[in-house]
Amino acid sequence: MTILFASDLDRTLIYSKNSRGQEVSVQDFAAVEWIDEKPTAFMTNRGLQLFQQITSSITFIPVTTRTAEQYNRITGLFHSVEKPKYAIVANGAVILEDGKPLTEWSDKVIAKMQQNRTSIEHVLPQLEAFTKNEFVLKVMQAESWFVYLIIDEQAFSVEEFEKLSQIFYEQGFTLSHQGRKVYIMPTCINKWTALQFMKERIAAKTVIAAGDSMLDFDMVINADHSFIPSHGEAIHKGGHLPPHVSITNQVGVLAGEEILKKVSNYLL
Ligand SMILES: [Mg+2]
Terminal Cα-to-Cα distance of the chain (whole angstroms) = 14
Tell how far the Cα of 175 is from the centroid of ligand 1, in angstroms: 13
Contact status, residue 125 vs residue 222, Cβ threshold 8 Å: no
Between the CA of 125 and the centroid of ligand 1 the distance, in Å, is: 27
How far is ligand 1, taken at its centre, from the CA of residue 255, in Å?
12
| pLDDT given at position 13 | 98
Distance 123 CA to ligand 1 centre (A): 23
Chunked mean pLDDT (size 10), the chain, 268 residues: 94 95 90 96 97 94 97 95 96 98 96 94 82 85 94 87 88 90 95 97 96 96 97 82 95 97 92
Q: What separation in Å is there between the alpha carbon of 213 and the centre of ligand 1?
A: 5
List, for residues 103-141, the tens digit of each pLDDT value: 999 999 999 999 999 999 988 888 887 777 788 899 999
Which pLDDT does position 23 carry in this prediction? 85
Confidence (pLDDT) at 22? 84
Per-residue pLDDT at 1? 67
Ligand 1 geometric centre to CA of 218 (Å): 13
Q: Tell me the CA–centroid distance for residue 246 and ligand 1, in Å.
A: 16
pLDDT recorded at residue 41: 97
- pLDDT number for residue 197: 97
The SS3 of residue 266 is helix
pLDDT for 45-75, tens place per residue? 999 999 999 999 899 999 999 999 999 999 9
CA of 158 to the centre of ligand 1 (A): 19
The DSSP H or E segment spanning 210 is strand 206-210
CA of 234 to the centre of ligand 1 (A): 10
CATH architecture of 3-107+189-267: 3-Layer(aba) Sandwich (3.40)
- The angle formed by the CA atoms of residues 23, 63 and 111, to the nearest 5 degrees, is 145
Domain extents for the chain?
A: 3-107+189-267, 119-186
Are the C-beta atoms of residues 64 and 89 closer than 8 Å to each other? yes
Q: What is the pLDDT of residue 163?
A: 87
For 119-186, CATH number?
Answer: 3.90.1070.10
Please name the residues in contact with 104: beta carbons below 8 A apart, sequence gap of 6 or more: none
